[in-house]
Structure 1
Amino acid sequence: MYVLIIGGGKVGFNLACALAQDQEEVTVIERDRAALEKFKELPQVKAVQGDGTDPRLLEHLGITRARVVAAVTGSDVDNLTAALLAKRQFGVPRVVARVNNLKNEWLFTRARGVDFAANGARIIAQVMQEELSLGELVTLLKLEGGEISLVEEEVASASRAVGKRLAELNLPGEIVLAAILREGKIVIPRGETRLAAGDKVLALAYSEHARVLEKILA
């Protein structure tokens, strides 16, 4: 699967690391040459200096075969521009954009080419699982320092959690449920919420506790 990341700062680097570990084909575009130095640690990732809003460069780097484009620069203008190009001009199936200033969040819509928008507090792309085979339990993005991850786990039909209230699962305090994706809709998790087979549970968890959620929902 080919993923094009626009922005090689901290978010872009962490995203590239996570995807490279799962052997996805990744290209990163970053304006700042100095910021590209750290990508020497990731020889499997192609890092290119350039403007991620330049359609000629995007085409040269094969955006037409990308399944996912993640615009994660520190500029909302650049992220919106890149998203619009990716979706409207090149027809990329899934476009994820980072929102830096929450006052601009209303601009990040499907009409402007953004399939999913996220800021640092809510993390970047809960949708990678849909387009990338990263395993049953997916560490979608490593957060500050890599200690906490946003993870997604699907409730198996044979899981003992099916039909149970969340309060009955006795999840450790190190796991915080963020949302439940059910038949295309988002369900806010509460103690009385009952899980159904096929639910996708999004949670914040310390890395060492991520597997606990997998075992409970499998």
Structure 2
Amino acid sequence: MRVAIAGAGNVGRSIARELIANGHQILLIDRDPNAIKPESVPEAEWLLADACELASLEEASFETCDVAIAATGDDKSNLVHSLLAKTEFGVPRTVGRVNHPSNEWMFDDLWGVDVAVSTPRLMCALVEEAVTVGDLVRLFSFRGGHANLVEMTLPDGSPRVGTRVADLNLPGDAVLVTIIRDGAARAPERDAALEGSDELLFVADPSYEAELAQYLVPRSMRTTAEIG
């Protein structure tokens, strides 16, 4: 894939290295001459330009990009870049970095953002995921599809312990995507039975999250594990 990254700071360069290692073509864009450091990611294409200007994106042939990542330290710039990439060039997938949690509500499809990545929210979710048992924790939101990636560590007393995956009657359009057991992720095979302490990852519509939590663990059973 050809991936454009607006913002060639530490975050942008780190993303570029990871994607290059996975075989993708990377374009790094920044308007600050001090940020243009081709020697730091020599495999990438570099462009000194304003990623919020239409002419700059035309110069970069944005219509050939598969993904546009807005990774600057400025939320306004990230929103404008995402909107231009989506509406003017039809980039199939846009990812926007949220620097300030109070601005997260704007990072949606109205601004051309398919996926919003908020570091503070993600860190909070990971902390909750690490210390809670029997509570549904939202890990990630897929803006384009209006769905969330949610997790629950199944307590030993859950009525779903021992239930085959094929027999789960999940509410709405919730889908079990993986089971993490003994530190290893495994596909949810139809005949596999759920066990206590399984970490279950679902993709679910936000409107069904409460019902999903109730189905897996009745409210009276939910506990919060202590940090030892």
Q: Same fold (TM over 0.5)?
A: yes
- State the 1:36 CA deviation: 2.0
What percent identity do the matched residue pairs reach? 29
Query: 176, 195, 201: which is aligned to 1:180?
Result: 201
RMSD: 3.2
Match of 1:12 in 2: 12
Pick closer, same or farther for the CA change 1:101–1:163 going to 2, 3 Å: same
Pick closer, same or farther for the CA change 1:187–1:2 going to 2, 3 Å: farther
Deviations along 1:23-78, one digit per CA (max 9) or x if unpaired, are 200001012222222x4132111121110111111122121011110001011110
Which residue type is aligned with residue 25 of structure 1? Q
Pick closer, same or farther for the CA change 1:159–1:28 going to 2, 3 Å: farther
Q: How many positions carry a matched residue from both structures?
A: 156
- Residues of 1 paired with 2:57 and 2:185: CA distance? 34
Contact 2:8 2:36 in 1 (8 A): yes
- Residues of 1 paired with 2:216 and 2:20: CA distance? 36
- Residues of 2 paired with 1:66 and 1:187: CA distance? 34
Q: How does 1:2-41 map to 2 (within 5 A)?
A: 2-37=2-37, 39-41=38-40
Pick closer, same or farther for the CA change 1:21–1:107 going to 2, 3 Å: same
Deviations along 1:140-196, one digit per CA (max 9) or x if unpaired, are xxxxxxxxxxxxx97425499x4424x434xxxxxxx7x834367796998x959xx
Give TM-score, length-normalised by structure 1.
0.61
- Residues of 1 paired with 2:96 and 2:11: CA distance? 11
Contact 1:6 1:71 in 2 (8 A): yes
Which residue type is aligned with residue 77 of structure 1? K
Deviations along 1:78-115, one digit per CA (max 9) or x if unpaired, are 00100110111111111110111111111111011011
Match of 2:194 in 1: 164
Contact 2:6 2:12 in 1 (8 A): yes
Which residue type is aligned with residue 164 of structure 1? L
Q: How does 1:37-186 map to 2 (within 5 A)?
A: 37=37, 39-121=38-120, 122=122, 155-158=186-189, 162-165=192-195, 167-169=196-198, 180-182=201-203
- Residues of 1 paired with 2:43 and 2:205: CA distance? 34
Query: Secondary structure of the equivalent of 1:70?
Result: strand
Which residue type is aligned with residue 27 of structure 2? T
Contact 1:180 1:187 in 2 (8 A): no
Contact 1:3 1:24 in 2 (8 A): yes
Give TM-score, length-normalised by structure 2.
0.59
Structure 1, unmatched stretches of 5+, are: 128-152, 170-176, 195-218
Structure 2, unmatched stretches of 5+, are: 124-139, 143-183, 218-228
Pick closer, same or farther for the CA change 1:44–1:193 going to 2, 3 Å: farther
- Residues of 1 paired with 2:84 and 2:112: CA distance? 8
Which residue type is aligned with residue 5 of structure 1? I
Which residue type is aligned with residue 118 of structure 1? V
Structure showing greater radius of gyration is: 2
Query: Secondary structure of the equivalent of 1:42?
Result: coil
- Residues of 2 paired with 1:65 and 1:163: CA distance? 45
- Residues of 1 paired with 2:141 and 2:7: CA distance? 18
Pick closer, same or farther for the CA change 1:157–1:69 going to 2, 3 Å: same
